[in-house]
Chains A and B, each alone.
Chain A
Amino acid sequence: MKRIETILYGIYPKSEKLRIRIGRWERHILSTSDLVDNLRQETDNVENEWSESGIEHWASPLFNWYDIFRPLSSLIRGIELGPLTRYHETNTFYRIPVVGNDLSVNDALSNKGETKDGLPLPLYYGNSEWSFLPGLMTFYAMSETAGMKQEEFTEKMVPVYRDILKLTGKKKLFVFESSDPGQFDYSIYKEVTEPSKTVIFFSKPPMKDNLSSISGKFYSLIESSENPHDLSLHYSQLRGVSVIDAHSTSVENRQKILEQVEDIGEDTILTSNDYLDFLPRVIADKKVRVLGGCSNVR
């Protein structure tokens, strides 16, 4: 039997209760320490549910992240929060990072304090070994960079990402690339952590040339596309497959997913085609149970 693993990533929808708590904290009715307790509690609850559902890997539900760049923008010296900007083809908005010249991790991360805009750390609640970071190509493409070239941005950010893993004690890296494909050498991530402990997710198919300098295998390369090419096969230990639709409230059928995976005939790691924060929580929970039910690693 082929191995089927599952992984969740990015921001997970909050419960109504936590959402209200954060609203109260924003209005200074709830203290930061009480909010931290709530964040920990909800993270524990969700991670227990995920585990019981059969999910093997996750990188924290990121309940204290307002979007995939924030609080990173708040933790990196040289980046400011810009105006609300539409996130791809959705009705969801993010604060665009406004990137300056000198980039480094600020003290808040190591002090486990607060971000510049007050959201309480740690960056990753829960006990997972995984970290989640937006891909550097995506970070660049979805920021205001005032003419900085992508190569320069990448060069400056790789040490920042390395520091984030070091300071948060995370061993594994989930990279989320959601921007349009362009020239980018993905082997750069080996300077952040070992490829065998790295998953890169592509919302849009990367150019094959971008992968040609990769030596060794990543844990997985996952494409969102319904018809992915075979990069995952060549460059990763497990073939990554997106089987859960994060932009539809129709809940997938487990049996159909298993048939799809059986047709692939390789060891696979299954996930969603985007992070699940675009869904109502109740639907996300149902989809996680379907995804976890596909795993055969117990």
Chain B
Amino acid sequence: MSDKNILVTQEIGSFRKPEYLSRTFHKIEGKPEFKDVAGKASLETLKLFSDSGMINHGIAGEMFRWEMYEYLARKIKNIEFHGKVRSFDNRYYNKGSVSGEISLMESPHSEELEFILNHTDAPLKIPVTGPYTMADWSFNDHYGSRLELANAFADLIRGEIENIQGIWKKYRGNEIMQVQIDEPAATTHPSEMDIVIESVNRSVQGIAGLETSIHVCYSKDYRVLYDRLPDLHLDGLNLEYSNRDILQLGTGVSARPGFSDLSYFSQINESLNVPKFLGVGVTDVHIDTVESVELIADRIREALRYVENPELVRLNPDCGLRTRSREIGFKKLKNMSTAREIVMGEL
């Protein structure tokens, strides 16, 4: 079996930028030469993805974006930046203040998508920062509630998705466009899952021709999310699973306890009229250790013990591989692709 719709391999979004881009990014961003430099890095990353054997090439490692919050926030009217705030220890980030009705001043993803579409026919998945995470990571000095703020971000994101879909259609016609809503903050406040679900649904509401997914990582408890699968109007989930796993070989609950909550996922997923696909994190983006093909294959087999239909299982790193060097990132992706081939042979 070699169907490219089974056990699809994919990146989550970001990949480490080449030094020539990371060193100059902030100096040239917004200038004419930026597109040339980010474009060169994108082409190199597309080739690297292709050489690794990965099926879906994402958006070429997000070479046009520095990170996921401020990149988008800076393009939104009525988000002001007053300075950095602590994230942890001595690590800080620029937290924007929403001071009025928000709207996009310019499209954050058009230039990037058009460039990529111009240079590849590979399957793509476009990551877009989600409304709840944008709301959670901002000061709310305008909207009456966190729900209102998240929904305002959702409306803005929906407009951007419609916008990039116009570009997509120019190059790919009626081919379905894959959009991944990045929501790392989704399960951080379990009491706010209603806000997460409502705002995420709203961000893709009424747009035909999409395949939609949500990316969540490093959740304390994915069951908070799984409980809401029936309410989530998306086609799939791309999640981190290797960081909570161990490096020894084996399958079964005792060998891979970090995967055990997938039984909870399956139980709920199988009750749905249209079950959702699950992108399983099979390589850890926070360690330099390159997991062996055998280990990744065991992780895939373990996921398939719970989600028995291989068409519903996709394979990805836990999160964006920007955390690792390009060399290590490549090896991880290559081993992921090789492991897929092995498991495909067993199906």
Interface residues of A (CB under 8 A from B): 13, 16, 19, 22-23, 26, 66-67, 84, 86, 89, 91-95, 247-250, 277-283
Contact = CB atoms under 8 A, between A and B. Distances in A.
A247 B92 CA distance: 16
Contacts of A92: 85-88
A144 to B, nearest CB: 13
Interface in B69-99: 80, 82-90, 92, 95, 97, 99
Interface string B174-214: 00000000000100110000000000000000000000000
A22 to B, nearest CB: 5
Contacts of B90: 19, 22-23, 26, 66
A249 B188 contact: no
A250 B82 contact: no
B279 to A, nearest CB: 24
Given A247-B139, A248-B139, A249-B141, A86 B84 contact: no
Nearest to A286: B82
B210 to A, nearest CB: 29
Contacts of B83: 13, 16, 280-283
A97 B86 CA distance: 19
A89 B95 CA distance: 15
Contacts of A279: 85
Interface residues of B: mostly helix, strand, loop or mixed?
Answer: strand
Contact of A19 (B82, B92, B139, B189): B92
Interface residues of B, number: 22
Contacts of A249: 80, 82, 97, 99, 139, 141
Contact of A86 (B139, B141, B188): B188
Pick the most buried of A248, A279, A281: most chain B CB atoms within 10 A of its CB. Answer: A279
A281 B82 CA distance: 8
B136 interface: yes
Given A16-B83, A250-B141, A282-B82, A84 B88 contact: yes
Contacts of B87: 91-93
Contacts, number: 59
Given A19-B90, A248-B140, A249-B97, A280 B82 contact: yes
State the majority secondary structure of interface residues on A. mixed
B88 A93 contact: yes
Contact of B95 (A22, A26, A280): A280
B35 to A, nearest CB: 31
B168 interface: no
Interface in B285-343: none
B137 interface: yes
Contact of B85 (A22, A26, A86, A278): A278
A279 B85 CA distance: 6
Contacts of A250: 99, 141
B88 A283 contact: no
Contacts of A22: 90
Contacts of B97: 249
Given A66-B89, A91-B185, 13 more contacts: A13-B85, A16-B84, A19-B90, A91-B95, A91-B137, A92-B85, A247-B139, A249-B97, A250-B141, A278-B86, A279-B85, A280-B95, A282-B83
